[in-house]
Amino acid sequence: MTYITKPIAHHPALPRNALGLTHRDYEGSMSTLCAGCGHDSITAAIIEACYQMDLPAHRIAKLSGIGCSSKAPTYFLGRSHGFNSVHGRMPSVTTGANMANRDLYYIGVSGDGDTASIGLGQFTHAVRRKLNMTYIVMNNGCYGLTKGQFSATNDKSSPSKKGEANPFDAIDLCQMAIQLGAGFVARSFSGDKKQLIPLIKAAISYKGFAFLDVLSPCVTFNNHPASTKSFDYVRAHNMAVENKLDYVEPKEEITVSYEEGTTTAVELHDGSRLILNKLDQGHDFRDPDEAILTIRRNAKQGQVATGLLYVNEAGTDLHDVLQTPDRPLNGIPVAELCPGSAALASVNARFR
Amino acid sequence: MSGINDFVIKFATVNGSGSASANTMFAKTVFRMGIPVSPKNIFPSNIQGLPTWYEVRVSEAGYVARRDGIDIMVAMNPQTYANDVAELVPGGWLVYDSTMPRLWQRSDITVVGLPIAEICARIWKDARQRQLFKNMVYVGALTALLDMDVKVLEGVVADQLKGKEKLLAANMQAVEIGRQYAQENFECPLPIRVRHADGTKGKIMVTGNEAAGLGAVYAGASVCAWYPITPSTSLAEGFEKHARRFRVTKDGKRNYAIVQAEDELAAIGVAIGGGWNGARSFTATSGPGISLMSEFLGLAYFAEIPVVLYNIQRGGPSTGMPTRTGQPDIISCAYASHGDTKHVLLFPANPTECFSMSADAFDLAERLQTPVMVMSDLDIGMNDWMTDEFAWDDARMADRGKVLSHEELENFAKVKGKPWGRYLDIDGDAIPYRTLPGTHETMGSYFTRGTSHDEYARYTEDGRIHARVVDRIRRKFDTAATLVPKPEIDIRDPACKTGLIYFGANRPAVLEGLDYLERDGIKLNSLRLKAFPFTQEVLDFCAAHDRIFVVEQNRDAQMRQLLMVEAEVPLDKLISALNYDGTPMTAEFVRQTVRRHLQPAKAEAAE
């Protein structure tokens, strides 16, 4: 909880990024989640990604719904405005915030209950609207705060801690996002920083709806041996579609060399690139149907396909549809938005 | 029996037959002849096939409330003939399509049979034209029967057909055919008729929803999210229409953003997100939408986020009567959401106020950092009202409330003597200072939350802090009471101890009713509420009167309840006058309700 304050002092030799900020400047308050929670690893990855990208924290808005995952924004980016809204409604609040100011980075944090159940409608429509945001689901297959009930992403084969069977089929949010037209869809694992950090960076750089489903085991309620959302299970069945992901900054040169023919560069809107060394040669991440197939093919074999699953580099966003100006709407003075008394003469004339 | 420039004409037609535009043209013609007019569209929740009515009151005296007692019935719908004819006053006129002649059971009315279907079948080949021009034929006949100025009608038709000019001649041909038939077959004009007058100077005819949409454009709203629901839909559409006209830059960019949301929950969520981020944001909805938005309203209340919500009320509970009017959401809006909540409400009485109160609503929402609900209804929102033309004072500055700039944040402690805290009451008005995302590199960020928080927006489970914060938010309501629009008070007799309180769309019926009561020898003082919380004037009025009628359109006397609880008016002082059948209130209803209490013997005799 936020009353547990971290010491402000830090080691003077801490490395600084291009903005002169240390890693600590991107942190939030002390986490109150359970020790070992996957969400804390994702939090750390977000901090690392933003630090490495030299993002000014005050230009980021972090929004969430309700649940363990939705508490997480308190633990990163303390210099950013945060908004812990109501259960399942982060997408609509982010939509409005984005409409008002297109100039900020929007990071939405949600959980599997928040997104796949109560907020399923809002999630799907935020995807449809191509909202320019990074949407991260911290997916643990259960409701942590209310003590471990199944969520809609829990696999049918995966029982509860007490051994009760889950009677319902799981919702695969990545397949859904691709089908609904999300421009950037990736899945990762909280325990795989090397994969997660470049994916977060690429998602933030992407213009349009970037969706990241991060398997994030619940150490308290869903980490038992029979669970398909446990650390051990995910580690053992994690089928990365790329064996290497490198995020390259807009002005940075590509220095890493890859074996000819296996490497692809994904161009992102801000000039940055994501360099991918493909492992699954059957996977074409530019084709939505193939991407869905990759997920399904792996799932059939009990594997979880992770990595960049789908990307549409020609991304558009809601503001293109709305035809709003480049400057944020919240920056236009009311006096400029008001047509004034002179215009009323013709309005009144129409109603006579 | 009514007479020149004083009557009610009612059109009974079938939904989807094109009658609505013909009827509107009729009303507009009367209006342009300078005669005060008040049309009420009584329509079904249906696209095609069900009965629909259009009542037009013509009143040179300027009374624009609905009035019972139909003088002329244009009965074009055989489904409803029986009831329509029964509604006519003795001595009234029945206009009907006599292609299929009928025997009418009443001998006290005059029947004007026009073989409309037969005429149309003879002249037009196309089935759709035959149907549409039927309407213009009866309008044409009415020009003769009521002595309407055909030139004025032609101007109205031409305006209606802007962009489709080639249809003008055919429409006017239909008018002429109807007109000629009436002149040749009946004694025209009837003793009841119109005559050019001078009663519409400075007036316009407009719906409240279009006025509110325009008002939101003038108020500087730039984020709008909504979900289609009758009768609020045309408000968002009105905003879009006027924004498209006034808010598009030279390079074709739109200085506004509208999203048709997936449901009402998302609509208010979007508006709250926009308000949080510093854009003037709003949504519009009706009854069921209020229920769905309630959780979010509690969040905006507790997290102190400005947002404007237009509630175009309709008959409830549940789906209720989606196409009928009412004022049944007073309590549910005043206290929307779980926990201790209380919201600022504004009550426009006509489209002119829908326009002007829009700017008030956005100012109040940003000043008070809270949701403000504009409580219109279907009658104001969807009917064309003859109302004062729109006026705007260019000197008016928008009140954006306490939002800190980069510089103000840096100097805050120096200027205010205290460090900034998002929920800290620095000025004693219970309104804290807020910051917008992206303002400052290192200062002013905070975590907005619906969970309990302290003055620095930090999560807390400390009950004392929680109580302190909710008490401060309650005190903000006292500040609100000093800022909201003051009531309209009419003291007809300073010595009189009997008063009447009303609000919203009932204004015309109440003012007319008070005139009648005065003729009956009863002078009443009245107060029209424009807002909740109640201002000092309201408390004073209640204290100054021993007996107060409270006129409203709901079953449970919701405004009376609010007066009892929030203004602490003794309940035996407050007498309810309640109308909740979904039709706009009449002056006669007001008059009779008051007389039953004050002149019981006379009232009984009169009834």
User: Is residue A79 one of the residues assigned to a domain?
Assistant: yes
Q: How far apart are CA B334 and CA B344, in angstroms?
A: 7
Q: Is A68 on the interface with B (CB under 8 A)?
A: no
Is A272 within 8 Å of A202 (Cβ atoms)?
yes
Which of A252, A270, A238, A204 lies closest to A45, judged by CA? A204
Q: Is residue A80 a part of any domain in this protein? A: yes
Picking from A189, A129, A143, the residue whose alpha carbon sits closest to that of residue A317 is: A129
**Burial class of residue A193 in the structure, from the number of CB atoms within 10 Å of its CB (0-12 exposed, 13-18 middle, 19+ buried):** middle
Q: Does residue B491 contact residue B527 with C-beta atoms inside 8 Å?
A: no
Residues 6+ apart with CB under 8 A from B52: B12, B13, B14, B15, B19, B20, B41, B42, B43, B44
Q: How far is CA A130 from CA A98, A201, B395, in A?
A: 11, 18, 40
Instruction: Work out the minimum CA distance from B325 to partner chain A, whole angstroms.
Output: 23
CA distance B529 to B346: 9
Total domains in chain A come to 1
Number of H helices, E strands in chain B: 20, 21
Strand arrangement, sheet containing B307-313:
B257-260, B223-226, B281-285, B307-313, B371-377, B344-346, B531-532
Q: Is the dihedral of CA A250, A254, A258, A264 positive or negative?
A: positive
Which parts of chain A sit beneath pLDDT 50? 1-3
Judging by DSSP bridges, how do beta strands B70-75 and B88-97 pair with one another?
Answer: parallel
Asked whether residue A58 is domain-assigned, the answer is yes
Neighbouring CB atoms inside 10 A of A339's CB total 18
B356's tokens: 């002007």
Among candidate residues A41, A50, A64, A8, the one with its CA nearest the CA of residue A214: A41
CB contact under 8 A, A352 and B214: no
Which helix (H) or strand (E) element contains residue A298? helix A288-300
Asked if residues A142 and A153 have their Cβ atoms less than 8 Å apart, the reply is no
- Domain extent, residue A275, equals 23-321
> If we measure between CA atoms, which residue out of A175, A154, A56, A82 comes closest to residue A111?
A154
Q: Is residue A334 a part of any domain in this protein?
A: no
Nearest C-alpha of chain B: how many angstroms from A89? Answer: 7
Point out the residues of chain B with pLDDT beneath 50.
Answer: none
Q: Does some domain include residue A281?
A: yes
pLDDT in tens, B552-572: 999 999 999 999 999 999 999
Domains and CATH numbers, chain B: 6-185 (3.40.920.10), 206-388 (3.40.50.970), 406-483 (no CATH), 488-606 (3.40.50.920)
Q: What are phi and psi of A307, to 5 degrees?
A: 110, -165
What is the rounded radius of gyration, in angstroms, for the C-alpha atoms of chain A? 21
Distance CA B239, CA A286 (A): 40
**What ranges in B247-286 are assigned the alpha helix state H?**
264-276
B220 touches A: beta carbon within 8 Å: yes
For residue A239, being part of any structural domain is answered with: yes
B405 touches chain A (CB under 8 A): no
Distances (CA, A) of B352 to A136, B38, B269, B357, B485: 47, 15, 28, 8, 15
We report the CATH number of the domain holding residue A45 as 3.40.50.970
Question: Which of B259, B280, B441 is nearest residue A58 as measured by Cβ atoms?
Answer: B441
Peptide bond into B533 cis (omega under 30): yes
Asked if B336 has any chain A CB less than 8 Å from its own CB, the reply is no
Count helices and strands in chain A by DSSP H and E runs: 12, 13
Report the interhelical angle of B587-598 vs B507-519 (nearest 10°): 50
The arrangement of strands across the sheet holding B110-114 comes to B37-42, B51-59, B6-14, B70-75, B88-97, B110-114
CB–CB of B441 and A323 under 8 A? Answer: no
Burial call A2-12: b when 16+ CB within 10 Å, e when fewer: beeeeeeeeee
Nearest to B368 by CA among B246, B225, B482, B497: B482
Considering only CB atoms, B273 lies closest to which of A73, A96, A344, namely A96
The CA-to-CA distance between both ends of chain A, in Å, stands at 61
- A351 contact partners, CB below 8 Å, separation of at least 6: B204, B205, B206, B389
Q: What is the 3-state secondary structure (H, E, C) of B32-94?
A: HCCCCEEEEEECCCCCCCCEEEEEEEEECCCCCCECCCEEEEEECCHHHHHHHHHCEEEEEEE
Which residue, among A80, A87, A338, would best test binding to B if mutated, counting the most B CBs under 10 Å from its CB?
A: A338
Q: Could you report the per-residue pLDDT of A75-109, keeping only the tens digit for each?
A: 999 999 999 999 999 999 999 999 999 999 999 99
**How far apart are the CA of A48 and the nearest CA of chain B, in angstroms?**
19
Give a yes or no: residue A225 inside a domain. Answer: yes
* Chain A residues closer than 8 Å to B253 by CB: 323-326
Q: Is A83 helix (H, G, I), strand (E, B) or coil?
A: strand
Nearest to A343 by CA among B246, B419, B268: B246
First to last CA, chain B: 18
Give the per-residue pLDDT at B607.
60
Q: In the beta sheet, which residues pair with residue B388?
A: B203
Query: Is A147 part of a structural domain of the chain?
Result: yes
Where helices occur in B186-223 by DSSP H, the ranges are: 208-218
pLDDT for res A1: 40
Question: How far is A69 from A79, CA to CA, in rounded Å?
Answer: 19
Peptide bond into B39 cis (omega under 30): no
Distance of CA B279 to the CA centre of its chain: 25
Q: What is the pLDDT of residue B46?
A: 86
Positive or negative: CA dihedral A80, A83, A88, A94: negative
Contact A92 B451 (CB under 8 A): no
Give the chain A residue nearest B252 (alpha carbons).
A323
